Amino acid sequence: MITIKSSKEIEFMKEAGRVVALTHKAIEEAIRPGISTYDLDMIAEETMKKYGAVSAEKGYPSGVKGVPDFPANTCISVNDVVIHGIPSKKQILKEGDIVSVDMVALKNGYNGDMARTYIVGKGTKEAERLVAVTKQAFYEGLKFAKKGFRVGDISHAVGEYVKSQGYSVVREFQGHGIGKEMHEDPGVPNYGKAGRGPRLEPGMTICIEPMVIEGNPDIWELEDGWTIATQDGSMAAHYENTILITEKEPKILTIC
């Protein structure tokens, strides 16, 4: 069921969005060669706590027998890992690594979801282009996140732009509605036909999140039951914001 948020709920979501944006800022400032993904995860935990929030990802149920709940505060995915990478003391970042950080701050019972891909130190031109295209894909979708359009209009815009740049989008995972729950209706795929899907209405809050692969779109799940990587070992990037549908232009809530 798609929920329309009240003005009070929107204020709560703005605050959750502000916290997750501040946490990303702290992560961006800390990323450097030699730091572990575990250290970044601890920075995220401390920053959320500082602003009165907790991670909605830590303890998130896997829903699969034998696979433990998600053990960290953030998903940190490096190079060919697309999403859901588990931070580790053993994973030390190197110059030129592509690092996607996806996190959800929970405050006052509402969620703010945001993902960014960072390049450690100086990256290659190819890495810079991949990250730039992924970011722009979000903004291509955002153009259609307006009253009267449909979810499929966003999906189509994202997918066609990524395709035009010679890259692939992940099809098995998608953006989503958000509010009291991290994942709510509607689903927001990164590909599809324009004019399809639920119609967008003021008060809806959704996450648009292109997940872009440099090579072919095939992915696989690692043995931990969470980590999703590219099958061909090609690089991947991720960009996401929580947005509010309004009477006019969409509003990005994950800002500080």
Cα first-last separation, the chain:
29
Rounded CA-CA distance 231/244 in Å is: 34
CA trace torsion 185, 189, 193, 197 (10° rounding): 0
Largest CA distance in the chain: 48
Q: Which domain holds residue 91?
A: 7-252
Q: In the predicted model, what is the mean pLDDT of the chain?
A: 98
Is residue 1 situated within a structural domain?
Answer: no
pLDDT interval class at 54 (50, 70, 90): very high
What is the CATH classification number for the domain harbouring 243? 3.90.230.10
Question: Residue 13 has what pLDDT?
Answer: 98
Instruction: Tell me, letter by letter, the H, E, C secondary structure of 188-202.
Output: ECCCCCCCCCCECCC
Backbone region of residue 166 per phi and psi (left: phi > 0; alpha: psi in -120 to 50; beta: other values): left
- The per-residue pLDDT for 132 is 98
- Please check whether residue 73 lies inside any domain of the structure: yes
User: Which letter, b or e, does each residue of 130-169 get, where b requires 16 or more Cβ atoms within 10 Å of its Cβ?
Assistant: bbebbbbbbebbbebbbbebbbbbbbbbbbbbbeeeebbb
Average pLDDT, integer, range 37-53: 98
How many distinct structural domains can be found in the chain?
1
* Residue 82 counted as domain residue: yes
Strands 219-221, 205-208: parallel, antiparallel or unpaired by DSSP? Answer: unpaired
How much is the average pLDDT of 20-49? 98
Name the 3-class secondary structure at 210: coil
β strands within the chain, DSSP E: 54-55, 75-78, 81-83, 98-107, 110-119, 168-169, 175-177, 184-188, 205-208, 211-213, 219-221, 228-230, 236-238, 241-244, 251-252
In a domain, 199, yes or no: yes
Tens of pLDDT, residue by residue over 71-130, are 999 999 999 999 999 999 999 999 999 999 999 999 999 999 999 999 999 999 999 999
Please give the Cα distance from 185 to 179 (Å, whole number): 10
Is position 2 within any domain? Answer: no
Q: Is residue 45 part of a domain?
A: yes
How far is the CA of 204 from the CAs of 123, 182, 221, 242, in angstroms? 37, 14, 32, 11
Give me the count of residues in the chain: 256
Cβ 244 vs Cβ 253: under 8 Å: yes
The rounded distance, in Å, linking the Cα atoms of 162 and 208 is 14
| C-alpha to C-alpha distance for 102 and 115, rounded to whole angstroms | 4
3-state DSSP helix/strand/coil % of the chain, to nearest 5: 25, 25, 45
Decide: helix, strand or coil at residue 65. Answer: coil
Note whether residue 170 is domain-resident: yes
> Would you state the pLDDT for residue 201?
98
Q: What is the mean pLDDT of residues 186-205?
A: 98
Residue 91 included in any domain = yes
Query: CA nearest 149: which of 96, 188, 101, 95?
Result: 188
Using pLDDT thresholds of 50, 70 and 90, give the confidence band for residue 147. very high
